[in-house]
Amino acid sequence: MKSQINPALSGENQNKPVRIGMMSLGCPKTLVDSELILGKLDPAHYQIVPTVTDCDVALLNTCSFIRDAQKESVDRILELVQLKKEKKIRAIVVMGCLVQEFPGDLKKEIKEVDAFVGSGEYHKIPEIVKKVTSGKKVFSVGTPGYLYTSGEARVALTPRHYRYVKISEGCDHECTFCTIPTFRGKHRSRPVEDIVIEAKRLIQEGARELILTGQDTSYFGRDFSGKFLLPELLRSLDSLENLEWIRLLYVYPSCLTQELMKAIRDSSRVCHYLDMPLQHASDSMLRAMRRGITKRRTLDLIRQFRDTVPDLAIRTTFIVGFPGETEKDFKELLAFMKEIKFERLGIFKYSREEGSQAAKLPDQIAEEIKEDRYHCAMQLQQGIARKKTRSWIGKTIKVVIEEKDSKVPGQWIGRSFMDAPEVDASVQVLSKKTLTLGQFYSVPITAVKDYDLVGKF
């Protein structure tokens, strides 16, 4: 590939916009940050391009959730460094969680990076990009976690028919396996009114599905009001016009209330979908993880919720191989999965995170045992998910169309209320008609394929 250096960077053509490429890693929370970062760059001076391999300044927003995410972030940094050596890009700006957690190590070990920016410094991006385009080095790491407002512009990195809305920043929980509070800070909620203003703007821009995200959305409002205000927020958003779906991510079971259950039941737009990370089902493991809830309380909550919202689809995650997890603990987890029969479920192998309390615990589990337990749990869930999926045959379900299948003529790929983007299953829609991307259709389900539904329209 030939060099794509923009003359504006060397002063040869000051009127030509500097081309900016963005790579965003990790969760939807980081994606929102990346959209805000791009929104701060004046389009009169900067042109946003589709890839970091064809730009002047490459922006990389990193993830540091677990060791695998940290490795991916470092690998992407090194790929950008190689592109810079080949003169295919001119400057590299590395931002976000990895920088906030390991600022000194990154600055010392990867000197080719032009700027390191922490997770609370995104308001400085225009100044930082200006400096790196003039050849300066920048190191800006301060208080973690950037809490934005509705007045800040965002550049969509998703299809316009669905947008993420980050309702809070940081976390007050003290889970022993997690270090997120160290690089995202304490929990801080946005005002309800401010979120509603942003939601209205996103709907005007074409959003038909709003996906609420935060480290713990169920804790929303507790920091400034002393109350859980998520039900109030859902009721406010439910009243907005030209909106099909509101989807809720990352509800912690210890903060789940009956008021929230009723708010979801009574809403016309909130999806009957609950992303609720449980992490384990054994009381000894829940105590060791400091999850703030017991197995009995978890069972009662799920049963109450399913009684209140009968067609509720629950997505959860579990950790296997946590320090001290016995074979009895693991079998208790499997029995719990069999009893509850989750619609969507992910398994993580415990990752020993530097700085976490669990990293210091005795009885660390061998990697081969983690691997065995991972595959055993996933095999069980596959069988549960297939039975759940087959129960939809013969029913009609609302589907949003995401893309045209390039391999199968007349087939389109969509999502149901049970499916969040990127992480869940899909609906394969066969149609002789030309369907519109981002539009919602009532699709009769005729078959299933693995985890996916198949319908005809």
Q: Are residues 35 and 100 in the same domain?
A: yes
Identify whether 286 is part of a domain: no
Q: Are residues 181 and 257 in the same domain?
A: yes
Identify whether 145 is part of a domain: no
Please report the pLDDT score of residue 450 as a whole number: 82
Domain boundary among 83, 112, 140: 140
CA gap 291, 345 in Å, rounded: 18
CA gap 9, 35 in Å, rounded: 23
Of 441, 380, 437, the residue nearest 416 (C-alpha):
441
Q: Which domain holds residue 414?
A: 396-456
CA gap 205, 228 in Å, rounded: 30
pLDDT in tens, 127-151: 999 999 999 999 999 999 899 999 9
Count of all residues that appear for the chain in the document = 457
Q: Are residues 171 and 266 in the same domain?
A: yes
- Kindly give the parts of the chain with pLDDT less than 50: 1-13
Domain boundary among 140, 167, 188: 140
Q: Are residues 373 and 419 in the same domain?
A: no
How many domains in the chain?
A: 4
Identify whether 295 is part of a domain: no
Identify whether 45 is part of a domain: yes
Identify whether 294 is part of a domain: no
pLDDT in tens, 326-375: 999 999 999 999 999 999 999 999 999 999 999 999 999 999 999 999 99
Q: Are residues 378 and 450 in the same domain?
A: no
Q: Are residues 376 and 445 in the same domain?
A: no
The dihedrals phi and psi of 127, each to the nearest 5 degrees, come to -65, -40
Q: How far apart are the first and last CA of the chain?
A: 44
Long-range contacts of 257-263 (CB under 8 A, 24+ apart): 257/218, 257/228, 257/231, 258/304, 258/308, 259/228, 259/231, 260/218, 260/228, 260/230, 260/231, 260/234, 261/304, 261/305, 261/308, 261/309, 262/231, 262/308, 263/230, 263/231, 263/234, 263/235
Taking CA atoms, 118 is separated from 22, 39, 96, 144, 147, in Å, by 16, 18, 5, 7, 13
Q: Are residues 94 and 204 in the same domain?
A: no
Domain boundary among 221, 253, 271: 271
Q: What is the CATH number of the domain that holds 381?
A: 3.30.750.200
Please report the pLDDT score of residue 145 as a whole number: 87
Amino acid found at 203:
I
Contact predicate 85/33, CB 8 Å: no
Q: Are residues 131 and 24 in the same domain?
A: yes
Q: Are residues 201 and 131 in the same domain?
A: no
Q: What is the CATH number of the domain that holds 424?
A: 2.40.50.140
Identify whether 219 is part of a domain: yes
CA gap 223, 186 in Å, rounded: 9
Taking CA atoms, 385 is separated from 129, 141, 237, 371, 398, in Å, by 47, 44, 31, 21, 20
In the chain, DSSP finds a helix count (H) and a strand count (E) of: 14, 19
Q: What is the CATH number of the domain that holds 75?
A: 3.40.50.12160
Q: What is the CATH number of the domain that holds 183?
A: 3.30.750.210
CA gap 345, 277 in Å, rounded: 9
- CB neighbour list of residue 122: distance below 8 Å, 6 or more residues apart: 33, 36, 37, 40, 95, 146
Q: Are residues 113 and 55 in the same domain?
A: yes
Identify whether 258 is part of a domain: yes
Q: Are residues 165 and 208 in the same domain?
A: yes
Identify whether 148 is part of a domain: no
CA gap 238, 389 in Å, rounded: 28
3-class DSSP assignment, residue 151? coil
Q: Are residues 257 and 321 in the same domain?
A: no
Please report the pLDDT score of residue 9 as a whole number: 45
Of 278, 250, 284, the residue nearest 342 (C-alpha):
278
